[in-house]
């Protein structure tokens, strides 16, 4: 049993081996665009958290290297403990560039000069800051007027000197790095991927963007930033205030934006079933007539929820992994009603009040069914059928034998007998009634208490 999805290891020889989201076409199209692009340039790959950006750019990186375009991967979040992103960035790419591109003596000298100039840029401003800090802690009553003037004069002189030195260092950095790339990359651009920028400290993320734009705006260099633009916008506002136009601010640094296509979530769930060994769990249950479709019902429920509620890949993975734990203690021939279980786990996480009202002893299913129909009947006919199955199980789980009939059940009987009802409405209600009358084969109902116990046990884990 695998409790969670393992990170994809990108094969250098076959970058798309194990690709769960069919990203190959996107990578190949972007590669053709990138090779034809006038450098320098900054391209942002924008997609919300949990949609597979890291895997995407790692596959793209290996694909570029395979077709002869030198590229490097830099994880900004892993280095945001550093005071200056320039220091950490140069440190991380130091060996990578030399190994990837190959360094002759001439280009090696250029890279050495670029690094030394980068060090000088990072150091600038420190002497003046020390003097300002010292002046701030000295009791001004003990300073005579000419001493104050001397300190301020020194600071002004230092500021001018530092400005001139930094300007010279930046010019040398540009010239040396451009020379290194020209001598080493064989006319192809050098591509540097920057990942997890939106997870960094706001001040670090902004400083890194500024460094990239001002210091690495160099012919032959292309940056690809993997980010969640909305989240990065929050970081910008936390530094500059809510009044700032974060999109306008980002346009200062980003030349092009590319939005990752929406993945086929049903295919992703199918891949998760294999990766998390869920298929193996359901295999022996196929020997029992009443349980043979359990796997399909679970997949159908997860697919419907993922599409209807626009769940991210990370959210789909976490929901699937939690249900995987919830079902593992079940016996081979035990009724677990996986579609209902999945929906209840989902509602407990996303609509906890509806869940609590449903599972309490005198709770009604009507509000939860209303929410289910709101989200589950927007998609394909297959999802509508899955919604009907879950609704039937929700009614059956709250049914007190055959002595009482809920309003939900009466409504579906009325739909079937109403000549003005559409064929689709009648089919939906017929499916609900069929599930209510036989939710687990002849003579078996839905034991809600057992399902709640599984979900309560699951709540002791954190995903």
Which pLDDT tens digit goes with each residue over 265-324?
A: 888 899 889 888 999 999 999 999 889 999 999 999 999 999 889 898 889 999 999 999
Under the banding of pLDDT at 50, 70 and 90, the label for residue 225 is: very high
Determine the topology of domain 24-259 in CATH.
Rossmann fold (3.40.50)
Separation in Å, CA 455 to CA 299, 323, 341, 387: 18, 9, 8, 20
- Sheet of 221-227, strands arranged across: 71-75, 190-195, 221-227, 41-46, 256-259
Under the banding of pLDDT at 50, 70 and 90, the label for residue 141 is: very low
What is the pLDDT, as a whole number, of residue 142?
43
What whole-number distance in Å separates Cα of residue 367 and Cα of residue 457? 25
What whole-number distance in Å separates Cα of residue 168 and Cα of residue 174? 10
Residues 6+ apart with CB under 8 A from 80: 200, 201, 204, 205
What is the pLDDT, as a whole number, of residue 457?
85
Q: Is the predicted pLDDT of residue 155 greater than 80, yes or no?
A: no
Which of the pair, 406 or 241, is modelled with greater confidence? Answer: 241
What is the pLDDT, as a whole number, of residue 372?
92
Residue entry with tokens 């007998």? 417
What is the pLDDT, as a whole number, of residue 441?
67
What is the pLDDT, as a whole number, of residue 341?
95
Q: How far from the centroid of its chain's Cα atoms is residue 209's Cα? A: 20
Separation in Å, CA 113 to CA 95, 126, 173, 334, 345: 15, 21, 7, 70, 58
What is the pLDDT, as a whole number, of residue 379?
58
**Domain range annotation of the chain:** 24-259, 265-458
pLDDT digits (tens, 9 = 90+) for 371-421: 998 887 665 667 788 899 999 999 999 876 544 577 788 888 898 888 888
What is the pLDDT, as a whole number, of residue 461?
74
Residue from 254, 211, 224, 179 nearest 89 by CA: 211
Residue entry with tokens 């599972």? 359
Which of the pair, 306 or 134, is modelled with greater confidence? Answer: 306
Residue percentage of the chain with pLDDT more than 70: 80
User: Sign of dihedral through CA atoms 100, 106, 110, 115?
Assistant: positive
What is the pLDDT, as a whole number, of residue 1?
61
Q: Is the predicted pLDDT of residue 8 greater than 50, yes or no?
A: yes
pLDDT digits (tens, 9 = 90+) for 52-85: 888 899 999 999 989 888 888 888 888 888 777 8
Is 0.95 topped by the overall pTM? Answer: no
Q: In the predicted model, what is the mean pLDDT of residues 158-179?
A: 67
The residues pairing with 439 across neighbouring beta strands, listed in sequence order, are 441
Share the mean pLDDT of the chain.
81
Which of the pair, 229 or 108, is modelled with greater confidence? Answer: 229
DSSP label of 13:
S
What whole-number distance in Å separates Cα of residue 146 and Cα of residue 203? 38
Look at strands 41-46 and 256-259 and give their pairing.
parallel
Which H or E element spans position 303? helix 294-308
What whole-number distance in Å separates Cα of residue 268 and Cα of residue 315? 12
Which tokens is 463 given? 């995903």
Q: Are 76 and 205 in contact (CB under 8 A)?
A: yes
What is the pLDDT, as a whole number, of residue 123?
63
Which H or E element spans position 192? strand 190-195
What is the pLDDT, as a whole number, of residue 143?
38
Q: In the predicted model, what is the mean pLDDT of residues 320-338?
A: 91
Q: Are 301 and 391 in contact (CB under 8 A)?
A: no
Separation in Å, CA 222 to CA 36, 72, 229, 431, 458: 11, 11, 19, 56, 46
Which tokens is 102 given? 């190959």
Separation in Å, CA 250 to CA 74, 206, 226: 20, 9, 13
Q: How far from the centroid of its chain's Cα atoms is residue 63's Cα? A: 21
Q: How far from the centroid of its chain's Cα atoms is residue 363's Cα? A: 37
Separation in Å, CA 399 to CA 121, 363, 369, 439: 73, 11, 14, 11
Q: Are 76 and 200 in contact (CB under 8 A)?
A: yes
Which of the pair, 319 or 231, is modelled with greater confidence? Answer: 319
């Amino acid at each position: 049993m695998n409790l969670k999805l393992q990170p994809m290891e990108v094969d250098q020889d076959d970058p798309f081996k194990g690709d769960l989201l069919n990203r190959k076409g996107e990578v190949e199209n972007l590669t053709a665009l990138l090779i034809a692009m006038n450098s320098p340039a900054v391209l942002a790959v924008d997609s919300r958290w949990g949609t597979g950006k890291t895997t995407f750019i790692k596959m793209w990186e290996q694909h570029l290297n395979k077709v002869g375009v030198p590229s490097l991967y830099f994880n900004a979040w892993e280095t945001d403990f550093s005071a200056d992103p320039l220091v950490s960035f140069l440190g991380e790419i130091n060996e990578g560039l030399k190994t990837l591109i190959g360094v002759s003596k001439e280009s090696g000298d250029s890279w050495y000069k670029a690094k030394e100039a980068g060090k000088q840029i990072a150091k600038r401003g420190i002497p003046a800051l020390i003097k300002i800090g010292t002046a701030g802690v000295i009791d001004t009553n003990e300073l005579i007027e000419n001493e104050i003037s001397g300190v301020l004069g020194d600071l002004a002189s230092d500021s001018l000197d530092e400005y001139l030195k930094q300007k010279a260092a930046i010019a040398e950095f540009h010239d040396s790095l451009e020379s290194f790339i020209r001598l080493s990359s064989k006319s192809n651009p050098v591509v540097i991927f920057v990942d997890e920028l939106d997870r960094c400290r706001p001040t670090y993320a902004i400083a890194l963007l500024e460094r990239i734009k001002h210091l690495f705006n160099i012919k032959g260099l292309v940056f690809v930033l993997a980010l969640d633009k909305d989240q990065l916008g929050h970081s910008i506002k936390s530094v500059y205030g809510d009044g700032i136009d974060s999109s306008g601010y980002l346009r200062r640094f980003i030349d092009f934006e590319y939005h990752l296509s929406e993945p086929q979530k049903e295919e992703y769930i199918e891949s998760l079933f294999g990766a998390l060994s869920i298929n193996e769990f359901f295999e022996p249950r196929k020997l029992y007539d009443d349980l043979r479709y359990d796997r399909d019902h679970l997949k159908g429920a997860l697919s419907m929820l993922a599409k209807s509620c626009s769940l991210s890949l990370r959210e789909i993975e976490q929901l699937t992994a939690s249900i995987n734990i919830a079902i593992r203690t079940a016996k081979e021939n035990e009724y677990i009603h996986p579609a209902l279980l999945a929906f209840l786990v989902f509602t407990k996480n996303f609509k906890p009040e509806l869940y609590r009202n449903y599972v309490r002893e005198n709770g009604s299913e009507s509000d939860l069914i209303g929410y289910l129909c709101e989200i589950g009947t927007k998609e394909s006919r297959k999802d509508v059928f899955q919604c009907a199955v879950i609704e039937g199980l929700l009614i059956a789980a709250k049914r007190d034998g055959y002595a009482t009939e809920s309003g939900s059940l009466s409504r579906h009987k009325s739909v079937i007998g109403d000549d003005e009802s559409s064929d689709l409405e009648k089919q939906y209600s017929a499916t609900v009634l069929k599930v209510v009358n036989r939710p687990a084969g002849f003579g078996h109902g839905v034991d809600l208490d057992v399902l709640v116990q599984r979900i309560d046990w699951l709540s002791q884990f954190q995903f």
